[in-house]
Amino acid sequence: MSVLKLKPSGKDYLWGGHRLIEEYKKESAGNVLAETWELSCHPDGPSVITNGSYKGKTLPQYIEAEGREVLGTHCSRFGDFPILIKFIDARDNLSIQVHPDDQFALEHEGQYGKTEMWYVMDAGKDAFLYYGFQRKISKEEFTRRIKEDTLPEVLHAVRVQKGDVLFIESGTIHAIGKDILIAEIQQNSNVTYRVYDYGRVGKDGKKRDLHIEKALAVTKRVPIMRDRSSYPHVADCDYFTVDRLNLDGNVMKKMEGNVSEASFASILILDGKGRISCQADSLSFQKGDSFFLSAGSGNYTIEGTSDALITTIRETSPGICK
């Protein structure tokens, strides 16, 4: 099989909503589904293959059986599968948090750090995200505001709408606000340092832990600029390259691509329906579907109506992520 359809792992975090269940037909044991890990080799929630000879196997099991060649030559620099792709439904505000870089995370957590990007799939009228600071602040002020629960007063609140993209490098303080639906592409990591959580309690009735000391060590306490362009890509860095596909079914009805030996391709369907074909494989798709095309699969076509994100891994560069 050159086209693997994936079933995600679901997360019922307390801030989640119902849209992934109702609109995207995702399975859930309850009525809250905060995240679905659509492309995942992470042990906290691997994707499961739903077609072909590997049906019922996890994506990590497929890679182990077929060999790392299915990831492509550009992935040879990574010890683990490089990325994690999610849908996120924020019915309520997420905690204010920060992610470490690779060096800090490997030393303190035994896994990679996290640089990520957000693609806003939908947002309420007054929806916003926290993205960095309004101004440069000292470590002492940062500490004080965490303890006094006044941290949001110095954060940059960014109003968002459908189609907006934010790139969040490791060390950037951030939070998804309520009433936002997001597709997230990130490094393959589940390391988060929480610094503010609106006083909420978890399922055990206790306030969730904060990770103040580690957050102080990794946070860049400066404003973040949004004007860096990744054209012609949606996002482009050493960890992932993301492109957007839009087929309106009229002027644009078909897209042809190629998956070389350099990198696998992830295709995440945000909206629409149609068919994806590669070699002898031809699968129908609908809104919310996720596909993995192994490196070296060759030419493929996508037909129908589709709004999708295509993620690959490029060669490393001496420049910074953008």
| Residues annotated as catalytic (active site), given as ranges | 194
Strands 9-11 and 35-39, by their bridges, are: antiparallel
End-to-end CA distance of the chain: 34
Cis peptide before 232 (omega within 30 of 0): yes
Burial class (CB in 10 A: 0-12, 13-18, 19+), 311: buried
State how far the alpha carbon of 171 is from the alpha carbons of 2, 7, 168, 320, in Å: 37, 31, 8, 14
The angle subtended at Cα 190 by Cα 111 and Cα 42, nearest 5°, is 80
